[in-house]
């Protein structure tokens, strides 16, 4: 489940809660060219209102692109050889 809530007061404007999903986290430590990674099952992302709006736009664009690619693959797979 992914839950999004508006917060108030000091701190983030929007909190995204991630539950029952596998998420890969990556970090490239300073002055290193090797990534540290791990998988988590639950967590939260704290965002400003502006960051939340930008993320929403980017998610919608990525979802549209994914649907376009799925349609292209389906069309390709249904075309006789």
Domain ranges of the chain: 2-78
pTM: 0.72
Residue 69 pLDDT exceeds 80: yes
Query: Which of residues 3 and 28 earns the better pLDDT score?
Result: 3
Residue 50 pLDDT exceeds 90: yes
Sign of CA dihedral 72, 75, 78, 81: negative
Per-residue pLDDT of 6-41, as tens digits, reads 988 888 899 999 888 888 888 888 877 788 888 888
Number of alpha carbons in the 13 Å side-chain half-sphere of residue 28:
4
Residue 52 pLDDT exceeds 90: yes
Number of alpha carbons in the 13 Å side-chain half-sphere of residue 19:
6
């Amino acid at each position: 489940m992914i839950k999004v809530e508006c917060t108030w007061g000091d701190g983030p404007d929007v909190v995204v809660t991630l539950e029952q999903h596998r998420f890969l986290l990556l970090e490239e430590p300073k002055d290193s060219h090797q990534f540290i990674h791990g998988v988590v099952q639950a967590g939260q992302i704290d965002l400003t209102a502006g960051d939340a709006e930008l993320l929403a736009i980017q998610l919608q664009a990525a979802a549209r692109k994914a649907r376009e690619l799925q349609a292209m693959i389906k069309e390709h797979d249904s075309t006789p050889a």
